[in-house]
Amino acid sequence: MKHAYVFPGQGAQSVGMGKDLYDNVPEAKALFEKANEILGFRITDIMFAGTDEELRQTKVTQPAVFLHSVVLARALGVVPDAAAGHSLGEFSALVVAGALSFEDGLRLVSKRAMAMQGACEQRPGTMAAVLALPDEKVEELCASVDGVVVAANYNCPGQLVISGAVEAVDAVCALAKEAGAKRALRLSVGGAFHSPLMEPARVELERAIAEAPFHAPSCPIYQNVDAKPHTDPAEIRANLIAQLTAPVRWTQIVRHMLADGVTEFTELGPGTVLQGLIRKVDGSVTVESKATL
């Protein structure tokens, strides 16, 4: 029997996240305060009592979701048999499994957020969710239109997010509806994440990731880029660099974990998105979400 811990990405945030940990667990409070110091602003003020708009700023959102997940995992004393995270959540998984220190993980997440924001301004784009079409059909539609548009998030069977230039994404949405998609609608995001339009961010983050010390994790990390388990620090580093412009293969990660004997999943951090996606991959699996102790 294997227990996997999984960690959500950007979009799972909500005001108030982590406040009970800060108030009730001295070790958690110390980590949050260390984060305020590292980031150079009081992210806890925004997390616990800010507005939705303040929390949605990329420089805040990504570190906030990471912090909630990692601080909660530390408070629970989590020892996973396997771990994975959706996009940003991969950094949470790496820290919880000991491949990265808390401080280095937070610094990289902050740099990643800034680099992605810069790439969005440099090369504007968008993302859209396509529901109830086979993945292969959506890939085919992306390849058929002019402009940059790619499959970006393989979330679960029948739910694929595409990403790229606005006109190209809109063109694929129109074709997807014609092909019988239940829905094909643009998402409220700041840019074309996990697409070639993130190349400036990938280049910027590559140096920071290359300089950060990585260690062998305490359990296999199933990484977004190839959905396979990794324990070699050099492989983990290379996959993390490639992650920004490559798709999140979440469906495949869950299938590989199940094939490798994982029987229970716990989602740690804000929201319940991953719990829902895992259930859609396999309805018989044991899965729960935890946002607090």
Q: What are the residue numbers of the active site? A: 87, 194
Residues ≥6 apart with Cβ < 8 Å to 213: 100, 101, 104
- At 214 the three-state DSSP class reads coil
* Integer Cα distance of 85 and 101 in angstroms: 16
**Adjacent-strand bridge partners of 160:** 130, 154
- At 278 the three-state DSSP class reads helix
- How far lies 212's CA from each of 31, 34, 102, 115, in Å? 20, 18, 12, 16
Residue 233's φ and ψ, nearest 5 degrees, are: -55, -35
Residue 70 CA to chain centroid, in angstroms? Answer: 13
Nearest Cα neighbor of 213 from 100, 89, 102, 93 is 100
Residue 85's φ and ψ, nearest 5 degrees, are: -140, 150
C-beta of residue 276 within 8 angstroms of C-beta of residue 287: no
* Integer Cα distance of 44 and 211 in angstroms: 28
Residue 12's φ and ψ, nearest 5 degrees, are: -85, -10
